[in-house]
Structures are given as C-alpha cells and as structure tokens.
C-alpha cells in the first residue's frame, strides 16, 4: 500500500517512520517532508497551504491512503477536497476541524453537549469584553478564536490586563490580523495532560496520554512555544481516568458531532486540565500533537496503519491500541531565538553518530531541517526531536535521549534539561487521582 503523508515536521517524521514498520506499507511519500524525512521516504516539495498543489500531488501519486499531519491544510478543507476526488484520507473534514479552528465553536459545542470545560464568554467588541469581565473573577484567560500557532492565548492576572489583551487582539497589534471574535475564559489551575483518541465518525477509542512542555524555559518559564518536549508513561493517568476521558470527553464529542451531522473522524487531541473540580477540556486539536506524537508513536505496539485504516473504514470500535510498557520522552533542540525570530541554514554536527546509534527505542526525528548541498541544516524554530523509550521507565528513557542529544550541536542550539520534571517530582495536590474522577462521573 502506498501512503501519502502531508506535512514536514517532527510529527510527520514520526508518522512516516512508524508507517514504514508495517509490511503492508510498500511506499511512503511525504509532502513536503524535510531533511530528515528525505532519508527514509521520497519527499515532494509543496506549500501545505496550497490545496491545488496538494491535490495535484495526490492525483499524480495515486496513494491508497493519505494522512494529513498539520492543522493548516485541515482548516482549508484538504480532506473534503481529496474525498470528493475519491481518495481515502485520514483526518477530519473542514467542518469537523472547527473543533480546533474555532474556539468559540468548540466552547459552544462543549456547552451544548455537557462536556466539562471552563466557564467562558464569546465577545465581539471591547464593550462586550468590559461587560462580561464583571462576571469573571481574575485571573482570566483571553483567547483568539482561530488558529494562532500558540500565540492566541493570553493569561491575565487582572481585568485591566485582560481588557488590554482583548484590545490588542481586536486591533491586530497582537497577531498581525485583527480578530472579530474572542473568548474570555475562567482561569483553571491544575496539571495538564494531552489525551489522544482515535475517532471514526461514530466511535472514539483511547490511544495514549502525554504531557507537553509549552514554555521555552526550564521550570515552565518564559514564552510559550509549539512544545519543547513531551513524555508518555503508563502512569500519567490512571486506567480509570483513561476510561472516564474516553467516555465523558472523546465519545461524547463524537456523539455530539454525529448528532449535529458533522461526523468527526481522525485524531481528537484533548488538552485537559486536571482541576480540583475534575478534568476539564482546555482545548481540542483535531490532529496529532507535536512533539507528543514522537513520544507516543515510539511506544506504540499496534501498527499505526491499523489506526488510520480503522478511522477511515469506520471500525475503530474493533481496534485495541496497545502501547509498549514503560516510558518514552522527546526533547526538542530548537534554534537560537526561538520562539522569536530565528536564523536558518546553520549546519548541524553529530547526526551521523546518532544515526549509527538509532534503534526502535532511540531516534532523532527532524522537526525543521533542510538538505542544502548534501548536508542537513537548520530550517525552523524547532529543529530536532530527540526521542527515546525504555521498558524500565522514565529515568532510563530520559538518560538515553539526553545521551543522544549530547552528540548534536548547531550554533545557537537551545533545549530544556528538565523534560518530565513534573513526573519526576510529583506534587501530590496536582496529580490526577481517582477521587477526582469519582466526583465527576
């Protein structure tokens, strides 16, 4: 079976790497791919924002299955466009992707279907923001409605800060384009978990959970990034919590979307805050997370191809996703200046050494690299995703990833040395517990 993977980050490198483990996959083509993906699959340059170019690639390549990695082509309707042309595609339609592409839609949807989430108000003017703010005790969260690459969420400790943030979103000062709609949200405290479910329009089944590290700095300090590292362990959430999230969040979402005639198929990535009032949805994404995917796929025992086919064929209810016991971690090596402006084209040393050491339990996925005159250079904020697992648990997995990372160097390279610190130093009051589940069932 020939598979076309759309995207060119660490997530797509991990998807291509995992797909190639299946005997049934004869060829993987990646558009556009990157410098690392090019070493294991044929890459076709393309701008993923161009539906016409993506369609032309599918028509030329005639894949048996297409997998869409990033949110941008989903938001533009690539799944609808390919399905209309008879292609088998993994991912949600443009309408179903609104769970990610419109926070107002997602919040109103959760309210309609009784899915636990923070109290909120959708505002279309500064006047309305001022009025609604009187109903929120600080701290309050101000969110842009649409996709904002992690820059559209502002945590405000006072009403004045929230009003200023709203004014900047409306004026365009914050995101470059002026927003017509924003969301005010109650500030939630607790520990965050990324919960991934596979959905086929009717059924939702749990895949795995992971924890991301959104801030650039150690100890979760500094500005937000796309994610500086992730880990996935058996103990991140309890089996009871997994069941609860599957039924009360993922399946409820699939049922609600189906009832509204917008069947949801693909990955439902639930950003959950474990609050003292129980688990609450912070946001939905409608695709795999990056870098959570790198950590999760390394631990996955079930063939990834089976997940994609079950979603596309409507048979997710017959699939059990098995993970290898133990833990996996992913540490991001980012360019100097990230998450601000970065300079591309820096040569990367040590990649030969790490590829000689690569195994099913230790692999360096490329997030933002390019092949320039035969050598791999940096090409983006997040450059490499050093990923490792161990059946013995988190500490050996971390030791393995950091030992690999020690071989790699490029000018300005930055990374966090404290990936998984919350799991290694658990604060009892922030751990998701069964008690929390019981109070909400």
Which residues in this chain contact ligand GLY in the complex, by CB under 6 A? 212, 227, 285, 289-290, 292
Choose among 231, 228, 247: nearest CA to 239: 247
Nearer to ligand GLY, 54 or 332 (CB): 332
Task: State the maximum Cα–Cα separation within the chain, in Å, rounded to a whole number.
Answer: 61
Instruction: Decide if residue 141 touches ligand AMP (CB under 6 A).
Output: yes
List phi, psi (to 5°) of 186. Answer: -60, 140
Give the range of 24-32, 126-134, 185-193, 369-377 binding ligand AMP by CB under 6 A.
185-193
CB of 64 to ligand GLY, least distance (A): 27
Helices 10-19 and 304-313: crossing angle in degrees, nearest 10, is: 90
Nearer to ligand GLY, 200 or 290 (CB): 290
Instruction: Decide if residue 324 touches ligand AMP (CB under 6 A).
Output: no
Distance CA 438, CA 210 (A): 22
CB of 218 to ligand GLY, least distance (A): 18
Per partner kind, with CB cut-offs from 5 to 8 A, the member of ligand AMP, ligand GLY, none near residue 12 is none
Applying CB under 6 A, among 3, 78, 79, 118 the residue interacting with ligand AMP is 118
CB of 320 to ligand AMP, least distance (A): 29
Distance CA 163, CA 327 (A): 43
DSSP-assigned states of every residue in 340-366: S------B-BSHHHHHHH-BTTEEEEE
89 strand-pairing partners? 66
Task: Give me 53's structure tokens.
Answer: 């170019």
CB of 133 to ligand GLY, least distance (A): 28
Per partner kind, with CB cut-offs from 5 to 8 A, the member of ligand GLY, ligand AMP, none near residue 187 is ligand AMP
Instruction: Decide if residue 163 touches ligand AMP (CB under 6 A).
Output: no
Per partner kind, with CB cut-offs from 5 to 8 A, the member of ligand GLY, ligand AMP, none near residue 289 is ligand GLY
CA separation (Å) from 398 to 14, 97, 326, 329?
A: 18, 34, 12, 6
CA dihedral 183, 186, 188, 192 (to 10 degrees): -10
Nearer to ligand AMP, 271 or 314 (CB): 271
CB of 304 to ligand AMP, least distance (A): 25
């Amino acid at each position: 079976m020939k598979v076309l993977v759309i995207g060119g980050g660490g997530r797509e490198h991990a998807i291509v790497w995992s797909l190639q483990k299946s005997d049934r996959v004869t060829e993987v083509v990646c558009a556009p791919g990157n410098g690392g993906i090019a070493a294991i699959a044929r890459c076709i340059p393309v701008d993923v924002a161009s539906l016409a170019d993506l369609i032309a690639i599918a028509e030329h390549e005639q894949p048996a299955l297409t997998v869409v990695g990033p949110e941008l082509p989903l938001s533009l309707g690539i799944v609808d466009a390919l399905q209309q042309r008879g292609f088998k595609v993994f991912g949600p339609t443009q309408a179903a992707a609104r769970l990610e592409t419109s926070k107002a839609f997602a919040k109103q949807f959760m309210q309609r279907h009784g899915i636990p989430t923070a109290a909120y108000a959708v505002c279309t003017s500064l006047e309305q923001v001022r009025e609604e703010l009187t109903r929120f005790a600080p701290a309050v969260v101000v969110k842009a409605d649409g996709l904002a690459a992690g820059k559209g969420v502002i945590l405000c400790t006072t009403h004045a800060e929230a009003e200023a943030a709203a004014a900047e979103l409306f004026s365009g000062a914050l995101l470059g384009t002026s927003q017509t709609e924003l969301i005010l949200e109650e500030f939630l405290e607790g520990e965050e978990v990324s919960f991934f479910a596979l959905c086929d329009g009717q059924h939702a089944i749990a895949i795995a959970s992971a924890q991301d590290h959104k801030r650039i700095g150690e100890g979760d300090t500094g500005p937000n990034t796309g994610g500086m590292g992730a880990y996935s362990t058996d103990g991140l959430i309890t089996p009871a919590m997994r069941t609860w999230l599957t039924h009360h969040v993922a399946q409820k979402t699939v049922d609600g979307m189906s009832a509204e005639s917008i069947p949801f198929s693909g990955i439902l990535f639930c950003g959950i805050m474990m609050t003292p009032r129980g688990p609450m949805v912070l946001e939905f994404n409608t695709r795999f997370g990056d870098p959570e995917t790198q950590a999760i796929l390394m631990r996955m025992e079930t063939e990834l191809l089976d997940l994609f086919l079950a979603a596309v064929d409507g048979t997710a209810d017959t699939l059990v996703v098995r993970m290898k016991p133990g833990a996996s971690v992913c540490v991001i090596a980012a360019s100097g200046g990230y998450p601000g402006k970065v300079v591309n084209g820096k040569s990367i040393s040590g990649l030969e050494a790490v590829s000689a050491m690569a195994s099913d339990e230790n692999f360096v996925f490329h997030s933002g690299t390019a092949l320039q005159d035969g050598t791999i250079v940096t090409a983006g904020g997040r450059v490499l995703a050093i990923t490792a697992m161990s059946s013995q648990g988190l500490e050996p997995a971390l030791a393995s990833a950091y030992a690999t990372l020690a071989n790699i160097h490029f000018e300005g390279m930055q990374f966090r040395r404290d990936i998984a610190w919350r799991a290694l130093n658990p604060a009892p009051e922030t751990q998701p517990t069964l008690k929390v589940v019981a109070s909400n069932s």
